[in-house]
Amino acid sequence: MTITMLNPTALTLAEIKEFVKSSQSVKFKSESRAERNAWIENILRMYKYFQLSRSDKGTARQYIQTMTGLSAAQLSRLIAWYKKHATLKPKEYKRHKFPKVYNLEEIALLADIDNAHSCLSGPATKQIIKEEYELFNKTAYAKLKDLSVAHMYRLRGTRRYHEKVKVFAKTKATTAKIAKVLDVSIEELIK
């Protein structure tokens, strides 16, 4: 059964104390963390928790614990978080990403080099890039001149590279006897 409190701040601290005493045998539990934290934040703000006396803070804490099912330690952490950040909304997760050094233009340039030279080995391609930059002063190769061979192979595995590169593998010849292909014995062919 779900019970929703519409106006929890209409209760005075004395009424809250009576409510907590009378609901000792009833256990409440919040449905979602976001909803629970919003409700706790609302209670802390409306009752001006940090301005309450020590005994009134204890009453407010018991009320919150009764209504949410949190332990004393969990509630202490939430109140400390609220005191520090002035909100109980969780910090959004931001995944750490290394900055991209080689963008789509460099990958396309690598594909063009491989198209022109039939996809040579990594060290040979690296030497070509280095010479294009140093001997022929082509500024397009400025970023690629420091490219490691290992990272070159990683870039060769990207979708952008495969869209641009035109390297074809030759068909491998296989030998098979006609009789085996046709699933006929040689004696039957002679007859």
Domain boundaries, the chain: 8-85, 104-164
| Contact yes or no for 145/129 (Cβ under 8 A) | yes
Closest alpha carbon to 67 in 20, 99, 137, 124? 20
Q: Which helix (H) or strand (E) holds 148?
A: none
Integer CA distances (angstroms), 161 to 103, 115, 123, 168, in order: 11, 11, 18, 14
Burial letters 137-151, b for 16+ CB under 10 A, else e: eeeebebbeebeeee
Q: What is the DSSP string of 158-182?
A: SHHHHHH----PPPPP----HHHHH
| Contact yes or no for 52/46 (Cβ under 8 A) | no
| Contact yes or no for 160/107 (Cβ under 8 A) | yes
22/81 Cα distance (integer angstroms): 30
> Is residue 90 classed as helix, strand or coil in its secondary structure?
coil
> pLDDT for 63-95, tens place per residue?
998 888 889 999 999 999 999 998 988 778 888
**Tens digit of pLDDT at every position of the chain (191 positions):** 455 555 555 778 888 888 877 777 677 777 788 888 998 999 999 999 999 999 999 999 999 988 888 899 999 999 999 999 989 887 788 888 888 889 999 999 999 999 998 888 999 999 999 999 999 999 999 999 999 999 999 999 999 998 888 866 677 777 766 555 555 565 665 66
